[in-house]
Amino acid sequence: MDIGSVWPWAAFLLFVATMLVVDLKVLHRDAHEVSRREALIWTGIVVTSAIIFNIGVFVFRGTDDGIAWATGYVIEQSLSVDNVFVFLLLFSSFAVPAAYQHRVLFWGIIGALIMRGILIAFAGVLINTLHWVIYIFGAFLIYTGFRFLTEKETHVPSIETNRMVRLARRFFPVTETYEGQNLFVRKAGVLMMTPLMVVLILIESTDLVFAVDSIPAIYAVTNDPFIVFTSNIFAILGLRSLYFVMSGYLANLRYLKQGLAVILAFVGSKMILSDVIHVHPLVSLAVIVSILAIATLASIMYARRNPTALQMETEMEQKVHPPHPFPQNQA
């Protein structure tokens, strides 16, 4: 690998590291509840950075790569909304104080960046060495879209059944209450996990599931590792602030999941037919944006016509996912 191919990766990773340091050490040094205005500003910074980066791809790598990057970013950003809904359910189900939610999501994003990098590299190797894997990925995306359509509700991961949590609790006992924004505390000489760390483990495990769904989708657009990785990471960087912006509006997006299901089915079909039909990246981008626009407009129209029904659905969701007490430590 020559210097010319190394410096874009190095520059991008340096940018990501800088964003994370500024976020944790400057903007959120002290635990506080993130306001919607603060989240909107950070979301604007991340999205603006993504647009500037996309322009750079257009300038230095050409129109096709620029469109592929934009399409991949839109796909990952739209699919990440489902992550946001799970975050909302987790925080409400385990009664995580609002002041500590940012810290959990920050470390969750760090873990997601690492996992996505590993999975993207692994998927790229598979596709490049075993071309038939692309058909499996396509079929999996279509199945995932069907699952989105038939799924009645979003399930909150259980402490008792989650394997990562059960493994962690074999090595560390769990405190009965939150200990500020600490993930670990030492009591009577014993290092213990706090409930905040347990929620973080649940977030990481659910992100792993979402990554398995979303990464094959972007490989339907391009198999260029730089485009796949950078567009995916930009979507992840904005995920935390997106949660704080959208947490109050998610109940109104009634048809979003159906829209995501259609996107996954479209992308999966595109992968399966890749050797027969070549869909131009600009066409893919237009289709995906159109589906999202239709789902959003349909949701807005439904919310305006049925405000009482939405309120009843929200109350029902709260009954289905009441605050979850943390289990006592097992001997």
CB 160 within 8 A of CB 97: no
Beta strands in the chain (DSSP E): 184-187, 190-193
Write down the pLDDT at residue 2: 42
303-312 average pLDDT score: 64
| Cα–Cα distance for residue pair 217/223, rounded to 1 Å | 11
Averaged pLDDT for residues 14-19:
88
* pLDDT of 160: 65
Rounded average pLDDT over 281-301: 82
HEC string of 245-311?
HHCCCHHHCCCHHHHHHHHHHHHHHHHHCCCCCCCCHHHHHHHHHHHHHHHHHHHHHHHHHCHHHHH
For residue 326, the model assigns a pLDDT of 54
Mean pLDDT (whole number) for 302-307: 76
Instruction: Tell me the C-alpha distance between 63 and 48, whole Å.
Output: 19
Amino acid 321: pLDDT? 47
Percent of the chain with pLDDT over 70: 80
User: pLDDT tens across 173-182, in order?
Assistant: 888 888 888 8
Give the separation between CA 152 and CA 48, rounded to whole angstroms.
35
Instruction: Give 66-120 pLDDT, tens digit per residue.
Output: 999 998 898 888 777 767 777 777 787 777 887 888 888 888 888 888 888 888 8
Distance CA(206)–CA(245), nearest Å, equals: 20
Per-residue pLDDT tens over the stretch 19-56: 888 876 666 666 667 777 877 888 888 889 999 999 99
In sequence order, the β-bridge partners of residue 192 are 185
Highest mean pLDDT among 87-91, 161-165, 232-236: 232-236
CA 221, CA 127: separation in Å to the nearest integer? Answer: 13
pLDDT, residue 275, reads 73
